[in-house]
Amino acid sequence: MRYFTIGSTDNLEVIGHYPQMKSMLTYNPDGENSFRKVRWNEFADFVPQYKVEIHPEANVTNFLERSPLPFGFLIDEHFLEVLKSHKLPDYRAYKVEIFHNNKSLEYYWFHFVFDMWHYLEKDLSRVIVYQKISGKTLTEHSFVSRDNLASLKKSLNFEKGMQIKEVVFDESAAEFDLLAITDFFHIPLISQRLKDNLHLAGLNGFETQEYGRIKFL
């Protein structure tokens, strides 16, 4: 099974203007129901508030740049309908307020939770610590636990970085058309089938790239 990263495009032929999003509109982003109160690994018990404006010279696309949303997708109803026709992990699609040239548009913050650790082959999955200047690998580590990775991340400094060498999942994870490498990396991945169907539906605003560091046993 082939999987692909997905994110917003900066292709001006598609979005018309960079950046595509202009600004947050007036409201308290740190308020009680702000999107900033939502954690990446759980669902909120409230409706998150998010209000943003598309730049007046930018094109309206099905998939929008999500900044400053920390995770998930900012999508319209057409994109959401294609997603819903595939095998997905648990998700919430929160309606959000998007404006373009004073017109209100219907969009959703698509937030999904994929329990990577339930499917992860921890001993076979590896990360490397590398020297930022040279790119030289310094050490290699397995995905022992969340706490282990957290300790490893805390040991980093301005000279050292951490990246994935390979993630190995149990084959049952391949039933999903949408999954994610989570915790310290937050890499959403879509299946070949979902990628193809998004393009067949003529949806725009996103880019994909094959992710070669994932395996299924």
pTM for this entry = 0.92
- What's the confidence (pLDDT) of residue 143? 92
Among 27-31, 124-128, 181-185, the minimum mean pLDDT is found in 27-31
- Structure token digits, residue 213: 């560091």
Q: What is the pLDDT of residue 212?
A: 96
Is the pLDDT at 174 greater than 90, yes or no?
yes
Domain boundaries, the chain: 3-116+173-216, 121-169
pLDDT digits (tens, 9 = 90+) for 70-118: 899 999 999 999 999 999 999 999 999 999 999 999 999 999 999 999 9
| Rounded Cα–Cα distance for residues 36 and 54 (Å) | 20
Distance of alpha carbon 41 from alpha carbon 54, whole angstroms: 28
Tell me the average pLDDT across 146-151.
Answer: 89
**For 78-85, which contacts have Cβ atoms below 8 Å and span 24 or more sequence positions?**
78/201, 78/203, 79/198, 79/203, 80/108, 80/110, 82/194, 82/197, 82/198, 82/201, 82/203, 83/110, 83/178, 83/194, 85/197
Contact 112, 88 (CB under 8 A): yes
DSSP code per residue over 82-145: HHHTS---EEEEEEEEEEETTEEEEEEEEEEE--HHHHB-TTT-EEEEEETTT--EEEEEE---
Question: Given pLDDT bands bounded at 50, 70 and 90, which one contains residue 23?
Answer: confident
Q: Is the pLDDT of residue 21 over 80?
A: yes
Region 122-146 average pLDDT: 95
pLDDT band, residue 29 (cuts 50/70/90): low
pLDDT at 40: 84
Residue 125 in this model has a pLDDT that exceeds 70: yes
Residue 36: which pLDDT band, with cuts at 50, 70 and 90? confident
